[in-house]
A and B are shown apart, each in its own frame.
Chain A
Amino acid sequence: MTDARNLPSRDLSEKRLKQRHAAEARFKLYGQLAIVIALGFLVVLLARVVQQGYTVFWTHSITTSVYLDPARIDRADLEGNNFDYLAAQNLLKRLKVQDDALGLASGEAMDLVSRDLGYRILGAIKDDPKVIGTTLTFTVPVKANADLYYKGEIERSTPETDRKLSNRQLDWLDRLEAEGLVRSHFNSDFFTNSDSTEPEQAGVLGAVVGSALMLLVAAFIAVPVGVLAAVWLEEFAPRGRLSGFIEVNINNLAAVPSIVYGLLGLVLFINWLGFPRSAPLTGGLVLALMSLPTIIIATRAALKAVPPSIREAALGMGASRTQTVFHHVLPQAAPGVMTGIILSLAHALGETAPLLMIGMVAFTPGLPESLASAASVLPVQVFIWENAAEAAFHERTAGAIIVLLVFMILMNATAVILRRRFEKRW
C-alpha cells in the first residue's frame, strides 16, 4: 500500500467511473425506450380503432314522403309488394328525375335508402289499411354507402369504377342534402339493433346481450367452483403427490390455448352431451372451464398472500380449519380474489377462438330468447364484421371494438381500483 499506487489507480477509477455512469444512463434509456414502444403501440392501436370507428356513432337519415298508390299495391299479398321500389320512384319524382324504361334509375335510387323503408311502409299499412292512397312521410336511415359518402369516406375524386356509388347517385345525394331532406344525428340504431345483413341496420345489441348472458353463465359456474377449489387446494388438501398433481394440472390448464377449450366444448358439450350450438349456455360453459384455472390460481395467490401468522393465530385460538379459513383467511383475501375474478372474466369477455369452435359464427339477427337459443357475442361479432365484404362493415367493426374495449376497460379499472383500495402491506 504505497503512495506510489495512489495516483494511477485514482485516474483509472475516475475513468472507470465515467464509463460506469455512461453505462447507467444507457441502460436507463433502454428501459424508457421499451416503455415508450409499449405505450406507443397502445396509443396507435387505440387511435386506429377510434379513428376507424368513431364515425359509426352518427349516421344520416333521409325524410321522404311516399304516395301509397292504391293501384300499385296488391292488397291480397301485402308482403309481396315491393315498397322499396315504390319509395324509390317517389324519391326520383321528388328529384324530378325521369326513370328509364328498365327502371335502372329507380334501382339506383333504391340503393340510397335503407331497406327499412319498405318494412316501415308495410308496417304502416298493416296497422291501418286505410292509409293506402294517402301520402305518408318517413324518416329512415340512408343506405350505408350513402352514409359513407356523407361522412366523406367515399369521395367523388375516386374514379367512378372504383367506388360503390355512381356519379348520378352522388348527384342525387348532393341534391337531397341541399334540399334539407338529409339530416345527420346520433346513431342510436347501432345500440338498439342486432346484427343484420344490411350494414346500416346492423347493431351491437344482440351481441352485447349475448355476451352478457354468456358471461353470467360463466361467472355463475366458474366463480364459486374456482374459489372453493382454490380454498380446498390451498387450505385443506393434504400436501402430497395428489395435490402436487392437481397443482401442476391447474397451472397447465391455465396455459392451454383457448382454442383447445373450443374443441373440448365442441366435442364434449355439443357432440356428446347434446347442448345447443351457438348458445350462450354452451359458450358460457366453455368460458367457465377456461377461466376456472385462472380464477383458481388468482384465488390461491390471494390466499397465499394472507400471512401464515393469521392462520396460526386462529388455529392457536382453537378455531377449526374451516373456521380459520372462512372467518379470517378468505375475507382477508377477498379483494385479491375479486380482482382475479374480474380480470379473468374480462379476459373471457374478449375471448373469440373457442366460441368459433362451438359455432358462434352463425349469423344471428335479433336477441337471444333463452340461454339455449342461438346468440352472437361481441368479439365474434367483431370477427364476423371484419370478414364481411362491405366497406361499411369495417366502420361497424371498429365501432363494436370500441364498445368491447369500453366494457373491458371498465372491468379492468374496477379491478385496479379494488386492488388499490385494499392493497395491504403485511
Chain B
Amino acid sequence: MSFTLAFALLLAFSVGVWWLGRRRASALAGGERLHSLPGYYGTWVALWTGIPAALILLLFLTAGPRLGEALIAADPPAAVASLPSETAQAFWNDAQSLARGEPTTAIQWTPEQRAALEQKAEQARQYNGFSAFAALALAGVLALGGFLLAWPRISPTLRARNQVEGWINIALMACSAIAVLTTIGIVASLLYEAMRFFASVPPLDFLFGLQWQPQIAMREDQVAAKGAFGAVPLFAGTFLVMIVAMCVAAPVGLFCAIYLSEYAGRTTRGVIKPLLEILAGVPTVVYGFFAALTVGPLFRGFFNWIGSWLAEGPLDPLGQYLMAVQNEMALTAGVVMGIMLIPYISSLSDDIINAVPQSLRDGSYAMGATKSETVKRVILPAALPGVMGAMLLAISRAVGETMIVTMAAGSQARITANPLDSVTTVTRQMVELLTGDQEFDSPRTLAAFGLGLTLFGVTLVLNIIALRIVQKYRQAYD
C-alpha cells in the first residue's frame, strides 16, 4: 500500500516539477531564444526527478521480497534444518505470511518450530519494515536529488528536446526488446524442459520412433521403453489432417480471393468480406465443437450409410470398414480445419492480389483480354510467389492448430494415409500430456516439451520460408 502511495506521490511531485520547469523555461524565453519549447524543459526535469526514483521503487518491489527471503533464510534455525525440503519450504512461506499478517498454512508446527517461526517472522517483519523505509527514503532522495541536479541546468542552450527524445527512444527500444525476449523465452523454456526429457529418451528415438505410447512411461519402475515416445505417428497424423485441410482451404480460399478482388462489385465485397472475417474470427474451440458434435456425426452417418449399402455386396470388406467408421477421424478434423483456414488464405491472397497494381489490369484489359485471362495470365503469375507464401503460412497454422484436433481427431497414434481413420496429432498429444496432474519429473509430462520444441522448429522453418517468399514478392512492386 505504501508503495502505491509512494508512486502516487512521486507522480504528483514529477507533475509539479514539470510545471515548474516549464514555467522557468518560459521565463527564460524572454531573454534569449530557447533551444527547445518550454514543455520539453519541464519534461526533462520531471524525467530526472521521476525515473530514477521510480526505478528504485520498482526494484525494491520486485527484488526486495526475494532478497528478504534469502536474508532470513541465510541462517536456518535448528528446528528447521532437520525438516524435509518441502516442509522447510512451507516453513519459510509461513514465516513470510506471518510477517505480513496473512493466514498461514494448515500445518501444525511443533512448539519449538512455532517459536522459530515467530522469531523468523519478526526478523522478516523487521527486514520488510526496514527495506520499505530504505526504498522509500532512497526514492525520495533520488527524486529530490534528480530535481536539484537538473533544475540549475535549465538554460536556453540546454538541448532539452534532444535529451527527452533520447529517453523516449530508450523506452521504445525496451518495448521492442520484449518481442525478442519472448522468442528467447520460448526457446529457453522449451529447450530446458526438452533437455530434461531427452535425458531420459534419446532424441533419435523420439524423432524417428514409430510407437507412441506415453502411458507406459507412467509407471516409475519402467524406464521409458524404447519406441514408447516415437513421435513419427503424431507427425504423420498432423500431416494427414493438414493435407485434408489444405485440400479444402486452398482452392476455396484462393477462388474466394479472386472473386472478391476481381469480380465482386463494391457492395458485394462490402458484404462478403466482413462475413468471411467472422469466419476468421470464430474461436477454434467453436470449430472444435462444430467438428465434434456436427461434422463428425454427419460424416460418420454418411459413411456408415454407404457402408451398410455396400456390406454384404461384392465390396463387403469395404462396407464393413465403413460401417465401423467413428466420429473421430482425420477427415472431420481436416475438413473443419480447412473451413477455418479458408478466410485466412483468402484474406492473405486478397491482399496479395490487390497489391498487383491496377495499371497491370488496365494494361491487360486494354489489350483485349477477358477478366479470367487477365487473372490467369497476368495477376496470378505476378501474385504467385505471394500466394505460395500464403499457403505455406496456412500450412504452418494447420500444423500448430490445437483445439480442432483435440476435440475431433482422436487419440490413436498411428501412421496412416486413410482420412477415415482416427489419428492423433502433435498438439492433441501435448494437450493430453499437460492437462490433468503434471509431474514435472516424469517423462510423460516432459514429452510435451519435446513435442513442443519439434513443433516450434517445424513451424519456424515453414514460417521463415513463407515470410521470405511473401516479402520478396512484396518488394517487387515497391
Contact = CB atoms under 8 A, between A and B. Distances in A.
| Direct touch of chains A and B (CB < 8 A) | yes
Contact of A356 (B185, B400, B435, B449): B435
Interface string B306-337: 00000000000000000000000000000000
Contact of B407 (A24, A33, A267, A386): A386
B71 interface: no
B259 A347 contact: no
Interface stretch (B121-129, B189-197, B220-228): B189-197
Contacts of B292: 386
B476 to A, nearest CB: 16
Contact of A379 (B275, B285, B290, B343): B285
B452 A292 contact: no
A48 B176 contact: no
A256 interface: yes
A361 interface: yes
B182 interface: yes
A30 B380 CA distance: 15
A401 B289 contact: yes
Nearest to A272: B189
B172 interface: yes
Give the interface SS of chain B, mostly helix, strand, loop or mixed: helix
B140 to A, nearest CB: 28
B255 A30 contact: yes
A221 to B, nearest CB: 9
Given A34-B252, A41-B339, A252-B467, A232 B176 contact: yes
Nearest to A385: B289
Contacts, number: 273
Interface residues of A, number: 91
Interface stretch (B76-84, B161-169, B202-210): B161-169
B399 A412 contact: no
A125 interface: no
Contacts of B449: 263, 267
B463 interface: yes
Contacts of B161: 320
A35 B456 contact: no
Contacts of A264: 182, 185-186, 189-190
A124 interface: no
A228 B173 CA distance: 8
A383 interface: yes
B355 to A, nearest CB: 12
Interface stretch (A80-88, A140-148, A403-411): A403-411
14 contacts: A28-B371, A42-B275, A42-B276, A49-B286, A49-B290, A225-B178, A229-B179, A233-B176, A237-B176, A249-B179, A249-B180, A255-B397, A322-B169, A386-B289
Interface of A: 20-21, 23-24, 26-28, 30-35, 37-39, 41-42, 44-45, 48-49, 52, 224-226, 228-229, 231-233, 236-237, 246, 248-253, 255-264, 266-268, 271-272, 289, 292-293, 296, 320-322, 343, 346-347, 349-353, 356-357, 359, 361, 379-380, 382-383, 386, 394, 397-398, 401, 404-405, 408-409, 411-413, 416
Task: Identify the 5 closest CB pairs spanning chains A and B, nearest first.
Answer: A257-B400, A350-B283, A31-B259, A34-B255, A267-B189
